[in-house]
Amino acid sequence: MANRGETKSQKSLSVANLRVIKRKEHKWTVKSMTGAHTKESSVPISFILRDLLKLAGTMKEAKGILHEGLVKVNGKVRRDYRLPVGLFDVIDLEKIGKRYRIVLDSKGRIEIKEISAKEKMSKINKIAGKRVVKGGLIQLATNDGSTFLEKKTAINVGDSVLVELPERKVGKRLERKEGNLAYVIGGKHSGTIGKIKSIIEGGMNKDMLLTLEGDKGDFQTSEKNVLVIGEKKTEIEI
C-alpha cells in the first residue's frame, strides 16, 4: 500500500487541553503542522479564525481568508491553514483594522485578546537554552522554538527577551529576579500575572520554585511555569 503521507486532521478527543473545543460534539478537528511551537503548546491558525474569532463559519472559509493573504502572524503573511500559533504570538487582520495576541485563560487554554493595532509590534520569549556555536557566537533558544545569535550577551536561561517584530530582533532583557513581573504559563495559576517575591533554588531532582504575589495573594509554582514579562510594568499588552 502506498504511503499517503501525514494526516491533516485528528480526533477531537486526542488534542491537547490547550484547545477550547467541544470534543463530544465534533469528532474531528484540524491538526497543527510541524512548526516553531510544539503541537502541545499551540493551535492551528485556521482554528483561531473559525472557532475563536468566528471570522469563518467553515474550514473552507478559513482557508479562503488565509489564501488571500489577509492574515499576518508576527508581522508576516501566512497562508497555511495548519500553521501553529502559540503564546504571545500576534495576529494582524489589517483589512478590518484588528490585532490580537495569543494568551492563556485560567485553565491554561489558548484564548485571544484584542490589542492596539497602532503600537509597535513585539512579543516576549523565554530563554530555554544558551550555547556557544561556530565563530564564538552565542545561540539563544526560546520557548517557541526560535533561535537568535548574539556576539555577546548577559541574557541567561530563565530570563525573557522582548522581540521586535517582524524583524525578530532581540531587544530588552527581562531578568528572572525578585521584583520583576511574571506570567504563569502552566499549572493551576495559568494566565495569572504576579510579582516575583522570592526564588528557591532547586536541585538534581527538585524544580526551582518561585513565590509570586498575585491579586488573590501569594502562591508558589515551578520555574518552568513562569515567564518574565516586565519590571515595573508589562512590556507587552496582555
- Could you tell me if 110 and 33 lie in one domain? yes
- For residue 223, being part of any structural domain is answered with yes
CATH number at residue 63: 3.10.290.10
Q: What CATH number is given to the structural domain containing 210?
A: 2.30.30.30
Which triple of cell numbers denotes residue 109? 487554554
Angle in degrees, CA 44, 45, 50, rounded to 5: 100
Q: Does residue 96 form part of some domain?
A: yes
Q: Express each pLDDT in 64-104 by its tens digit.
A: 999 999 999 999 999 999 999 999 999 999 999 999 999 99
Q: Where does the pLDDT of residue 33 fall: very low under 50, low under 70, confident under 90, or very high at 90 and above? A: confident
Q: Do 37 and 108 reside in the same domain of the chain?
A: yes
The whole-model pTM stands at: 0.87
Give residue 67's pLDDT.
97
How would residue 4 be classed by pLDDT, with cut points 50, 70 and 90? low
Residues 45 and 137 in one domain: no
Same domain, 13 and 111: yes
- Report the number of distinct structural domains present in the chain: 3
- List the grid coordinates of 204: 538534581
> 55 Cβ partners below 8 Å, 6+ apart?
49, 62, 65, 93
Greater pLDDT, 20 or 60: 60
Last residue of a domain, one of 94, 115, 136: 115
As beta bridge partners, residue 103 has 111
Q: Is residue 198 part of a domain?
A: yes
Q: What is the pLDDT of residue 6?
A: 57
Q: Provide the domain limits for residue 24.
A: 9-115
In terms of domains, do 137 and 55 share one?
A: no
Instruction: Identify whether 16 is part of a domain.
Output: yes
157 and 191 belong to one structural domain: no
Q: Let me know: does 174 contact 180? Beta carbons within 8 Å.
A: yes
Least confident of 26-35, 130-139, 163-172, 222-231: 26-35
Do 143 and 209 lie in a common domain?
A: no
Identity of residue 221: T
157 domain-assigned: yes
